[in-house]
A and B are shown apart, each in its own frame.
Chain A
Amino acid sequence: MIDFQMLIEYYGESPFLIKLAWITSLVLSVSIILLTVYLKFARTLLRKKEVDSLKFRAAYEALLIEYIYSGDEVSIISDNQKRIIDELKPQVLDRSKRKVIISVLYKLMNQVSGEVTDAVKILFKESGLINYALKKTQSKKWHVKAKGIGEFTRFKIESVQDEIKKHLTHPLREVRKEAHFYFVNLFHFEGLTFLDTIKTPLSEWDQIQMLEILQRFTNQEICDIKPWLKSSNDTVILFALKLAKVYNQYEVKDELMDLLSHKNKHIRIQVIEVLTHLYGIEAKDVLKANFTELSLEEQISFFGLLEKLVVPDDEPFVEKHLFHKDFEIQLLALKILKSINIDKYMGLSELPLHEKSPAMLKLTNTN
């Protein structure tokens, strides 16, 4: 008691800063104790949740396998499958259990194909999971919306296409991207019709992903890409150019020729590359005639085309550019000359050093 009184007196007589230090340490000590108790409680709760979720996952996995293999050839859903669906319906109402079910189904869809995926698709519809995915697509939060569309893509639900169509022009790229992937994944080339009207840009990464999805399908019969090559959206043109290259679209050469005069330099460069791939010999004379008006990148691309499609008649043009201001063009011109006239190429090595171009010097040093 005396000690306690002494402490109070000591505190009362202490200067302000010491008092402040005491109060701060007291507040901090209490906070640490409270936080420790809270963390301990939260950890216990999370562990319990995890254990419950694992238990439910194990039970659900077994039920899912039973469901998949209890189908018969008489009806779309067998009686046993109906029973399992009825058993699952109340579980779907619980948010955490629904999360587990979706994650198991997601993983399974990534690993298997064929008849199993058809059974999973029916389960997704009949158990009521489809309604929750639909609710997600109507959410105000963009990431929930994107997730909902992703679920429809993963479980190949075609019946909601009108709902997904609304998101093709969503202001946020992530949502739009998911809607694009939905149509490409489910309807393949036919699903690309959104390119007819799309005004928003398609990122390079999205284009690559769409190509990757398209290449996964066995039916590689491509639709008409001509309208997209005439699109007012530059990224649609760039995507159509990729399609033309990957699917060897020789029939669009006229459209490609028109694009050589497109206002976007990047498109013009890509067109030259696609024409190189498609042996667009017609482009050679057009580009040769306008060579000086082309940008440096286009000139380099054109020399790339020439490297592949060169004929002996091109020799004077190539020779003219052996001393081009750009090193890459000098090098390409030398390579092309070597392929059409080896004697003239060898003759260049006789030139005095000060008359040689940097590319010639480089080749001399390399040899």
Chain B
Amino acid sequence: MNRKKIVLAEDNSTLSLLLKFRLEKEGYELYMAVNGKEAVALIEEHTPDLILTDIMMPFISGLEVISHVRNKLELEIPIIVFSSAGQEEMVLKAFDLGANDFMGKPFSPNELVIRVKRQLS
């Protein structure tokens, strides 16, 4: 069976690992990036079915990743952003740039799985 590909951009290694484990359990193929730069490279290389990205990341932020996907690569891949408390304005910017959904930290990995499934259905 052809597994759906997800690029996960998150600089917190424990959270990344946790989500990777959870999403792989659901049958998705995960590509991990620790910053926006790596995420962009992975997106260009694998053209995933969904992108999960944190807003605040080193080198290139989540917002720049969204902008790159929507404006430069012109891809309509669903994007879910993670944000922390106090980043409400950033979330609005992310939606303006073309994000499809967001999850405020702390979030439940189970809820993330539900949202991922909804975006990919």
Contacts and interface: CB of A to CB of B under 8 A. Distances in A.
Given A69-B21, A69-B25, A111 B108 contact: no
A214 B111 CA distance: 23
B108 A108 contact: no
Given A69-B22, A69-B25, A114 B14 contact: no
B110 A108 contact: no
A61 B109 CA distance: 16
Interface in A147-190: none
B12 A114 contact: no
A141 interface: no
A116 B108 contact: yes
Given A116-B108, A116-B109, A111 B21 contact: no
B15 A112 contact: yes
A153 to B, nearest CB: 14
Contacts of A108: 14-15, 18
A135 B41 CA distance: 48
Interface string B96-112: 00000000011111110
Interface of A: 57-58, 61-62, 64-65, 68-69, 104, 107-117
A68 B18 contact: yes
B22 A113 contact: no
A109 B21 CA distance: 17
Contacts of A104: 14
Given A112-B106, A113-B107, A114-B109, A107 B15 contact: yes
Interface centre among A104, A109, A113 (most CB of B within 10 A): A113
Interface centre among B13, B14, B107 (most CB of A within 10 A): B14
A112 B14 CA distance: 10
B15 A111 contact: yes
Nearest to B104: A113
B120 interface: no
Contact of B111 (A57, A61, A64, A114): A114
Contacts of A68: 18
Contacts of A58: 13
